[in-house]
Structure 1
């Protein structure tokens, strides 16, 4: 009887693998127990196929608990909870002699086990008939005519099981070995070289240096310097920014390049970097740089892989990828300095770019065409939105920085033009914009215009000492000594330690 039971066990295991998509996980040394698994729609189905004879209920109960605990401990270490449905197929000569029917209802050894099912394939049964998640399974008990044929068929099924498992293992390895990482190394080298160039030319945290070498700078982009979307991908602000991004690029980039191949990796990387830069342009007015958008795009490529190969994804790296990604998103949303627009924009861009290129040896023409169209619409739509998003493009802080740089270069007419444009949207820094414009007017000897701006500036910001000082200078120029003295007195009240204010006040006093 043992040979027949072994034959049924092997036949059942092979049909579950070949016809119903189950994967071989493990077996005991004596091959009395096979453990199979299938993941489908967020659920995990596990089958133990056994040819062990159980004489007593307690023996069976202990084995059910042992194998369920073994699976949960060894094979189900995901970060998030997944429901597991466990099936025990028992190929036996006879049932346990004592009452055991209640075990079919399920006594679980772990809270992760949602349901336990026990199916028996007894001597004399014509077939085993049950279903797993609407998938009907029927295993017939047809045996060869003699013992020699039975033994040969038994060996045949064992060989088929091993071969099928090896083929699937090789397919899994092949998915992660499409090519060796090549491009991540020059990308890392270029980023490091440019970082040191920044440091030698004013510092990587210096806004003027960043702008000079191609950082994302909305004002310049609005004036036609669109190439900054690419150049900003290779610049980093500070050593910590560079270090974290290069570590991520080394590990995540190597994985994606192995899976997608060289050309696809480059396309995904630059598509994500570009869309990340455009998203930063659309939602972040500040000067920005870094490979973060492209790196988040690589996460998007891994998510797309998970969509195409969910079983492999969650069996290998899936939960870790989702966990790391969630941490980065939550951290980014909680820290104001982080450019979340670039991160999320790159993530989406990388995902869409992955649909466009697909994988080596996998073609889905219609989906790839849709992906290419979606990527173009996504990039163009983001840019169009950002270009017309006045709240970002007319941001006061950005204009103040530019105006300060133009004043250092004595470009007074540009200061006047830019200040005038920024004042149309000014809220928090209206007084400062008026002050800078008045200074440019003073340099052009437009006294009346400068006076109007300064008077409005101090009415908005009563503690604006520099504005009071400049007002005093204009009043003195117009021989309005009383107003000049009153203005400088207010500056002294605000900052009594400024000797320049006191000297000017003494100059205004009559002899």
Structure 2
């Protein structure tokens, strides 16, 4: 192996070894002897430039590294290449006749490997060790030598076959269910707006199937499913519809319609169960199922890490991270449903797996883990979590009942939440006092209102109602003091002025 042809063969055989046995992908391949390869895995991210040229002087390497540095800077602008290790590999007949190492500008920390006829075994072994690959049997490469042109053709065919296989993975199926789900969400939103009292009305949402813990505890198990198709306001609908459209299409193309159906509902249900177990607020939306789509794409990344990172990986991870962070920072966002849906979607994807993939043990383990998590969450929600009514939710429901004239039901709800929670916001006590007044229980209303103004001394409506009640009792001094306090807070309120005048006349 002491001639140029041998070095040409060694060069192309090295490229062939990396591509066919170690799954490196071809970025660029030039017949004259320059190839760019990449390997994008979760733990290993490498970009290799391999050059076949006879290097006589160190100036060649100095100029070459200057040019390569500019190319590497462009590669690093791509998100998936930022943390990659770069290698510049030369296959030459002889080493340069002068020193070159100290003259090379290597600010990007590019590893340089110079393979020539006196060190080829040691340098190839060192290269493979740097790449965390098993050392090849380099001498065996020469037992069945073929023309380098044949190797080049094989490399191009290998890359062509891989691209076709990847295209088949990413675009295996035509989306259909995604469009159906979008239409269902739009129809349900219109029903909330037209048939009910609006999509932001709490009683309407509960009536149409929003997640409401009290109703679930009474047997409405279907509320783990129906919230996926309800949205609270147009902006909520718009954001979830856009997310479902883009994520759903990608997931359905990869997994196929029936697998997408299973993982979408599995994620939505686990999101609903997590919300039931860990939050008491009324909630609705397809967010849990949509986060399940994120989980499905992450599982695809586990099975095909290189393709995932090169095609969509960092975009998915960044958008997912932003959404999770937003959920933790904004109090009204049901992050329990999001995280539950993410986990449920990931595990459901492992259960159904990808088309034409079969991993029975992994699928069985995923099914077992999914069942344990779902069962444990349900048990916790039903038997161990503090499922007290959320006072704010009860307040909203009671406000709607009061507007509808159903004072007895409102009084019952408010009384129960006060007894269960002990300390409640003054607004809840004010609503309870109002229902007591409407039910003719003025004596019960007075201490409630006194507690309200003690806890919130700028609650002018409470002072006004107290003045009315004191006046009805004939306690004019307290009535006068209460209405004066209301006027201090809101001096131009006509009803307050009229009541103050009436009290003065009576005195």
Q: Give TM class, smaller chain.
A: 0.7 to 0.9
Match of 1:132 in 2: 129
Q: Gapped runs of 5+ residues in structure 2?
A: none
1:342 match: 337
The residue number in structure 2 matching 1:193 is 187
- Asked if 2 retains the 8 angstrom alpha-carbon contact of 1:216 and 1:229, the reply is yes
Distance in 2 between the 1:506 and 1:55 partners? Answer: 108
Q: How far apart in 2 are the matches of 1:290 and 1:26? A: 46
Report the counterpart of residue 277 of structure 1 in structure 2. Answer: 272
Q: Which residue of 1 aligns with 2:83?
A: 82
Give unpaired runs (5+ residues) of structure 1: none
Q: Distance in 1 between matches of 2:77 and 2:455?
A: 64
* Deviation of 1:291 (Å): 1.8
Report the aligned-residue RMSD: 3.3
Q: Could you tell me how far apart the structure 1 residues matched to 2:245 and 2:483 are?
A: 60
Q: 1:477 to 1:32 in 2, by over 3 A?
A: closer
How many Å separate the matches in 1 of 2:383 and 2:259? 32
- Please give the alpha-carbon distance, in whole angstroms, between the structure 2 residues aligned to 1:482 and 1:259: 76
Indicate whether 1:94 and 2:91 are aligned.
no
Residues 1:78 and 1:474: Cα distance change in structure 2 (over 3 Å): closer
CA deviation after TM superposition for structure 1 residue 34, in Å: 2.2
Q: 2:163 aligns with which of 163, 166, 169?
A: 169
Confirm whether residue 247 of structure 1 aligns to residue 242 of structure 2. Answer: yes
CA distance in 2, matches of 1:500, 1:126: 98
Paired residues of 2:287 and 2:337 also in contact (CA < 8 A):
yes
Aligned positions, number: 498
1:76-475 aligned within 5 A: 77-78=78-79, 81-90=82-91, 92-100=92-100, 102=101, 107=104, 109=106, 111=108, 113=109, 115-122=110-117, 128-130=124-126, 131-133=128-130, 134-135=132-133, 136-140=135-139, 143=142, 152-201=146-195, 202-387=197-382, 393-423=388-418, 424-427=420-423, 429=425, 431-475=426-470
Q: CA deviation at 1:467?
A: 3.9
Residue 272 of structure 1: how far off its partner (Å):
1.8
- Is 1:48 the counterpart of 2:25? The answer is no
TM-score by length of 1: 0.85
- Residue 14 (structure 2) pairs with residue 12 (structure 1): yes
8 Å CA contact 2:433, 2:445 repeated in 1: yes
**8 Å CA contact retained: 1:79, 1:320:** no
SS in 1 for 2:221: coil
CA contact (8 A) 2:76 2:82 kept: no
- Deviation string, structure 1 residues 232-255 (Cα, Å, up to 9, x no partner): 212223333222222222221111
Deviations 1:147-183 (A, max 9, x none): xx96x54444333323322332222222212211111
8 Å contact 1:353–1:375 — kept in the other structure?
yes
Moved more, 200-209 or 165-174: 200-209
Q: Distance in 2 between matches of 1:208 and 1:80?
A: 51
Distance 2:479 2:50 in 1: 98
1:417–1:36 CA distance, 2 compared to 1 (3 A) = same
Is the CA contact (8 Å cut-off) linking 1:10 and 1:157 kept in structure 2? yes
Give 3-state SS (helix, strand or coil) of 2:115's partner.
strand
Greater shift in the superposed pair: 379-388 or 47-56? 379-388
Whether the 8 Å contact between 1:7 and 1:153 is mirrored in structure 2 is yes
Distance in 2 separating the partners of 1:243 and 1:282: 27
TM-score between both structures, scaled by the size of structure 2:
0.85
